[in-house]
Structure 1
């Protein structure tokens, strides 16, 4: 598990109290916030590299075991929330860079009556678009060369969204790839979907040093089970 530094990301503490600086008229809150955000961005970039390297070092058998376990926990979570997946519009994801592979479950839930969507970056720096996936869908290459449904596939509004995690922290916080797409999407959708983070136990962090744009997820699942659900005591 990554250790959270006792000083701000970047390893530098304050030379004097920010409160004293404010009293002397030399403290600029906006500049301080910008420096903090830049420090957090550098720290997150380093953590992404570390966690992705660890994930890619897993064996094929380890990845398959993690995907199978996560699929089982996701089934149980869906059952506990709504009695099952039948009739639910669920956004999955196409796995890349060693992410847990839930595609077998995606096909199974489709066969059981769920409506499956996949997220697509159709406009840079904008919310994701969700389009219908079925086993017969002929996928095309989208952003990052990820297979996605074609532009003429029906657009959907999911009630449940699965978000792959590079890292995760208590409180439902997600470390993603840095593009901000899931945060923009959760902020834009109304009603907001139930967002479930899918990741590895080894990707847990003490904190991601949340910034104002970071939107907590509603649940986090790993191979050992549910790690977080919003509102749970």
Structure 2
């Protein structure tokens, strides 16, 4: 027999906060969560209009969503974003940090100001979001960070970016162990070449075609491919913990 509390839990949607929720992969994750019945806090860094448009589309379809803004590397801004999600939906069950930037170049000539800017978002930002998530995600929840398959592929010009994402992988297992006994899983997703504006920017068609042929499946990944893995880690994958899942079609 279901208790009143059981009934309440069943009728209350899980709540997800997705950073970078207006980007290619982030948007696909938000849309997947909304389709799965989650209430979603859609985070944006600079384009509130895109976040508001996505929220409006979700709510028009009968879902629950709000937009929250701020620099992921700013702890006060992220605390406010988490506060807003909790105020709107009563708590947070899943945090997905897709926010990141990618600047490519050879080590010998790489601009150190670009290195600092990228690492501020990709390393400090990942840490700030993970810190808030570790304090707030409810038992039974999940924290999901984003790495890259370039930590294995290690193609030239990717060293600064891959280094910033290797930090995410290091954070993942340690945080999973630190949350022992709390019923919260911590994992990272490491996409391979995925057809997003971030990935395609600055690449000519020949380069894109070459990268598409790397996978045995002979295509680029799609944001929906990645969102499917995120949905698995956020919900049914309760025995996957402290792992980096490479979502790349078999490249590495």
| TM-score normalized by the length of structure 2 | 0.36
**Which is richer in helix?**
2
Scaled by the length of structure 1, the TM-score of the pair is 0.38
Larger radius of gyration: 1
